[in-house]
Amino acid sequence: MASFTFQKYLKKTSASLKQVFQFARKKPFKFLGYAILTGISFVLLLFFCTYIGLFGHVPNKKELASLKNPVTSTIYGSDKKPIAYFYMQNRSNIDSVQLNPFLKKALVATEDARFYEHSGIDYKSYARVLVKSVLLQQGKGGGSTITQQIAKNVFGRKDLWLLSTPISKMREVIIAKRLESIYSKDELLLLYFNTVSFGENLYGIEKASQRFFSKTPEKLTLTESATLVGVLKAPTYYNPRRNPNNSTNRRNTVLDQMVKYGAITEEEATKAKTPIVLNYSPPEKNSSLSGYYKEFVKKEFTAWAENNPSPDGAIYDLEKDGLNIYTTLQPNIQKYAENAMVRNIERLQKSMAEYWDSNTTEGGKEAFIKKLMAQQPKVKQLQDQGKSLEEIEAFLQRTTARKYWEVNKGFEPRQQSYQDSVISAIVRLHTGILAMNSRSGAILGYLGGIDYGFSQIDNIKAPKQVGSTFKPITYLTALQQGIEPCDFYDNTLRTYSQYENWQPRNSSGSYGGSYSVQGALANSVNTVSVALQMRVGVPKVKKQAEKMGITATIPDVPSIVLGTADINLLEMVTAYASISNGGQLVEPYMIQKITDEAGTVLFEAKPKYKGRVASEKSIKQLQQMMGEVLTEGSGTSFRAYEIPFNIIGKTGTTQNNGDGWFIGASPEVVIGAWVGTQDKRVHFKSTSLGSGARTAMPMVASMFKGLSSWTRPMITNFEYETSYFRCPTFSELPASEATNFYKNDSTYLKQLQLRDMVIPVDSISGVVQDTVKDQSLNK
């Protein structure tokens, strides 16, 4: 039936086309008139739709007037004091007296010879394009004026399928006409040179002049001015450093154009056609710790702005509109994070430099170094030159002053061999630290790396293997299924044949006896954790993780309990927030309020609650179990910080010590940290050096130490139904006997009664002091 209908449609279409062709043959002039009229009508309709913003917002005169001196948008901390600013692109502005006359003449002669005659649109140029480019197919280029190019440079173009080019051109025509009614010709030239791209992430003539010739624009010579104007046609192809021949040819074309339009004489052009001599200044990276949260704010703002245009239909722009962005960042907490990172990363980096390894490389560390050196471009160059192995080795070991990035300082000279400089870069440790209000989702501290100037990778949002920090999610799933903290599981080294003879091992290498569920989490026992995972099932754990705000892809294998999934720190901290706040999923956010220059409130955030993640009973049990991690288990070194509040948390260490994690929480605040290398071929030699307790925990602990010192601390204690779990962590009894034994054995129950009577409770922290030991635990 469908085939019949389609054939019928084809016949009808064919008949209609045949009638059109017949009409065209009989009355060709009339047909041509109709065709032209139809085309003109379509163009006018397209122009009208573009003008009213149907294909995207067209900036009004008020917006365009702000381009001359764009006001920066300001980011404020929670104390309403400025902490960062947004500027229009990566550029610096120059004023009219700094704009070299050669630059203006070269630009006009090359890009828009009738610039001073038209009012934004060069109709003669469009006629030339129509005849030569469209009708004669001679490819003579477009007819955009300098003013239209400003519109393109500043506001860009959108992909609108087949109509992208005509709609973009129409939009630029409208903007150009408006620009010409606001600015003088010289102001437009200045605006052009302040916004145009010169490649290499350079915007504006000042940065380009400094980069290629190490001088200010007003000091450029004729040949240098012509060179930079020549770059504009194709910034990569005509880059004078990368493609000097192309750049020289283009420079000469610019000079010839200047002669053609009387801007310079033939003699001046000849003298200027000398070899291009660069005084190139490589871009200097500046140390910055604010770049990470600035990017987070920018993305959050952009998502809001796209759905909340201004009353006149404009899209708010951080770099042009002079907005005030009030954030939830607490300056003190942010400073705690930065200080903790700088202090600890220096210590850890020294340890890493001395005790790193490469277990994943066949042949280990020495084989890895050899392979790494052979891959270096400089070594390959020496090989191509016929240098001997001895000469190459001498080069690799020769010590000299080389650039090394010092955290919080920038590049500084360091005496190193070439080989050591390459190794020091690849064994560089990175980190991410995030503090969040667990009750609202407000981000209190955000440090995405060791230095934004050195690495723009945001380690808070970049997925990493999470290690044992995932275990609380599996344990919460188990508690939800009715498993109790005092149920026991055998600590047996098992082989799972259905998973390619997978044999999960404990980091301690100790097996035998049985662990209670609470003891297995506290001590991060892998054998019991996997047994628990097998019992509750992977689908239920994945569903629980999703409830807790984790959107990352989690593999369908039981090893997820050991943290084999790649999840970012933001999602893990969000999941832990739902544990610490009593079971409510919150949505992380940083922007609290947005106002315009006049102080009008454009947006004000309200915490978003997305439902419960588990029952109150299960959450309370898990909180207490995670408290024991820090008092009795793998995180006991946390006690050394003497924080007068009972904090809960979990450590995490991935295979080969490649990633170290720690996430800690009070009922109000959750803080997480990750430490590791970007290249997973290198890692700490041992767990004693690279565990999460050793690398990430000190950063989090020092931040909680700072929070606890406030005159009016924002953190409090967790409250538990009982002071301690009424079962031991470990028993030499098999699990089949242990669970019932500790529930029913009269001797053990008598010991618990005595413990209840004599155990003091610390009045500050509420942590029970374990003064009575269960003598039956090691039976």
Would the pLDDT of 472 be above 70? yes
Give, in order, the Cα–Cα distances in Å from 657 to each of 50, 261, 358, 434, 695: 57, 68, 11, 21, 10
Would the pLDDT of 24 be above 90? no
Percentage of residues in the chain having pLDDT higher than 70: 88
In the predicted model, what is the mean pLDDT of residues 686-691? Answer: 91
Give, in order, the Cα–Cα distances in Å from 12 to each of 7, 16, 146, 572: 9, 6, 50, 61
In the predicted model, what is the mean pLDDT of residues 465-478? Answer: 97
Q: What is the model's pLDDT at position 34?
A: 65
Would the pLDDT of 765 be above 60? no
Q: What is the model's pLDDT at position 310?
A: 86
N-term to C-term CA, the chain = 81
> What order do you get walking across the sheet with 488-490 strand by strand?
488-490, 514-516, 730-731
User: Where residue 737 falls among pLDDT bands split at 50, 70, 90?
Assistant: very high
Give, in order, the Cα–Cα distances in Å from 710 to each of 589, 607, 673, 703, 714: 24, 25, 22, 12, 8
The answer to whether residues 613 and 629 touch, using CB atoms and an 8 Å cutoff, is: no
The answer to whether residues 146 and 112 touch, using CB atoms and an 8 Å cutoff, is: yes
Q: What is the model's pLDDT at position 6?
A: 55
Q: If DSSP codes are grouped into helix, strand and coil, which group holds residue 118?
A: coil
Q: Return d(Cα 149, Cα 181) in angstroms, integer.
A: 16
In the predicted model, what is the mean pLDDT of residues 187-199? Answer: 88
In the predicted model, what is the mean pLDDT of residues 744-757? Answer: 88
Cβ partners under 8 Å of residue 401, min gap 6: 413, 414, 415
Would the pLDDT of 141 be above 70? no
Percentage of residues in the chain having pLDDT higher than 90: 60
Length of the chain: 779
Q: What is the model's pLDDT at position 355?
A: 92
Paired with 516 in beta bridges are 488
Would the pLDDT of 262 be above 80? yes
Sign of CA dihedral 164, 170, 176, 182: negative
User: Where residue 134 falls among pLDDT bands split at 50, 70, 90?
Assistant: very low
Q: If DSSP codes are grouped into helix, strand and coil, which group holds residue 669?
A: strand
Q: What is the pLDDT of residues 527-573, one digit of tens each?
A: 999 999 999 999 999 999 999 999 999 999 999 999 999 999 999 99
Extract the tokens encoding 308. 């909340």
760 burial level (CB within 10 Å; 0-12, 13-18, 19+): exposed
Q: What is the pLDDT of residues 197-237, one digit of tens each?
A: 898 878 889 889 999 999 989 999 999 999 999 999 999 99
Among candidate residues 472, 475, 707, the one with its CA nearest the CA of residue 572: 472
Detail the DSSP E strand segments found in 59-122. 73-76, 82-86
The answer to whether residues 664 and 647 touch, using CB atoms and an 8 Å cutoff, is: yes
Q: What is the pLDDT of residues 397-432, one digit of tens each?
A: 999 998 888 888 888 888 999 999 999 999 999 999
pTM for the predicted model, two decimal places: 0.76
In the predicted model, what is the mean pLDDT of residues 340-360? Answer: 92
Q: What is the pLDDT of residues 83-133, one digit of tens each?
A: 988 876 556 677 777 788 999 999 999 998 889 988 888 777 665 555 454
502-525 core/surface letters (b: 16 or more CB in 10 A; e: else): eebebeeeeeebbbbbbbbbbbbb
Q: Return d(Cα 522, Cα 14) in angstroms, integer.
A: 78
Would the pLDDT of 140 be above 50? no
Q: What is the pLDDT of residues 576-594, one digit of tens each?
A: 999 999 999 999 999 999 9
Give, in order, the Cα–Cα distances in Å from 740 to each of 517, 735, 736, 744: 14, 9, 8, 6
Q: What is the pLDDT of residues 613-627, one digit of tens each?
A: 999 999 999 999 999
Give, in order, the Cα–Cα distances in Å from 176 to each of 72, 147, 295, 742: 24, 5, 31, 83
